């Protein structure tokens, strides 16, 4: 019983409470924190006194996206080239802050008057301009002339005429690419056709009315817009 009691007293009482025992200085049981905090006092004897303090920085231009696409171009080696590498130069057209050049092309036109086919093949002209970027669509001829090559989305909407056939083609130059058709009926309805085409510079897109044995017509009136033809660039050929 005496031995455990003495051991407990040895653990709880400080060293100075025991007569005859020398006093020992306090020793750190763990290493100081690393790295020191921003407000910590650093003395000349500290091991990290001579080390540089790293402060991270953020380039706000990169966050804005203005430096995207900037490339480094090295000049061609000259006769005086040595074993040491040469510094490159930034391309002026791709330096930070240069705006990206985007290609745009779009049109949307309509026809307010109805149309009856008068020939075997007839181009549908339009009389209402909704959107016509750079004037690429000729209303009188009914043709869109492609100046920005790429993939285009095209859509055609018409209103059929009672008891008359509706037979139209979306044309690429001289080639029919899609048909819009409705049989003669006592009820007139809205009909639509859409597709995507890969157009080259100089290609023409237009709508052709085709007359067969029956009378072919599309309905329209001045008060409302029933006939529309639209298209826009989805992706330029340079990005394909």
Q: What is the CATH number of the domain that holds 196?
A: 2.60.120.40
Q: Per DSSP, what are the bridge partners of residue 115?
A: 218
Q: Domain for residue 231, yes or no? A: yes
Count the domains in the chain.
1
Q: Domain for residue 85, yes or no? A: no
Answer yes or no: is pLDDT of 64 > 70.
Answer: no
Query: Which DSSP helix (H) or strand (E) runs through 138?
Result: strand 137-138
**pLDDT for the residue numbered 77:** 55
Mean pLDDT over 125-131 rounds to 96
Q: Domain for residue 38, yes or no? A: no
Mean pLDDT over 223-230 rounds to 95
Q: Domain for residue 3, yes or no? A: no
Mean pLDDT over 119-138 rounds to 93
**From CA 51, how far away is CA 110, in angstroms rounded?**
74
More confident residue, 59 or 157: 157
Binning pLDDT at 50, 70 and 90, where does residue 128 land?
Answer: very high
Domain that holds residue 148: 106-239
Q: Domain for residue 162, yes or no? A: yes
Q: Domain for residue 197, yes or no? A: yes
- By C-alpha distance, which of 159, 219, 162, 161 is closest to 186? 162
**pLDDT for the residue numbered 68:** 47
Question: Residue ranges of the alpha helices (H) in 52-154?
Answer: 60-64
Q: Domain for residue 229, yes or no? A: yes
Q: Domain for residue 61, yes or no? A: no
Answer yes or no: is pLDDT of 87 > 90.
Answer: no
């Amino acid at each position: 019983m005496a031995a455990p009691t003495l051991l407990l007293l040895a653990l709880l009482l400080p060293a100075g409470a025991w007569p005859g025992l020398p006093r020992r200085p306090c020793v750190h049981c763990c290493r100081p924190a690393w790295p020191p905090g921003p407000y910590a006092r650093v003395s000349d004897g500290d091991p990290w006194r001579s080390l540089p303090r790293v402060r991270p920085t953020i380039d706000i231009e990169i966050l804005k996206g203005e430096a995207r696409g900037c490339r480094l171009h090295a000049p061609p080696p000259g006769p005086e080239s040595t074993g040491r590498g040469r510094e490159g130069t930034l391309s002026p057209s791709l330096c930070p802050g240069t705006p990206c050049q985007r290609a745009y092309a779009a049109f949307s036109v309509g026809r307010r008057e109805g149309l009856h086919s008068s020939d075997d093949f007839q181009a549908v002209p339009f009389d209402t301009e909704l959107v016509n970027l750079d004037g690429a669509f000729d209303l009188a001829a009914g043709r869109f002339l492609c100046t920005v090559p790429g993939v285009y989305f095209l859509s055609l909407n018409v209103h059929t005429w009672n008891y008359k056939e509706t037979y139209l083609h979306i044309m690429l130059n001289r080639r029919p690419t899609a048909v819009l058709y409705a049989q003669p009926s006592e009820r007139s309805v809205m009909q639509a056709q859409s597709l995507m085409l890969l157009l080259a510079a100089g290609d023409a897109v237009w709508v052709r009315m085709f007359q067969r044995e029956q009378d072919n017509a599309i309905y329209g009136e001045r008060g409302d817009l029933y006939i529309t033809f639209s298209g826009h660039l989805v992706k330029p050929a340079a990005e394909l």
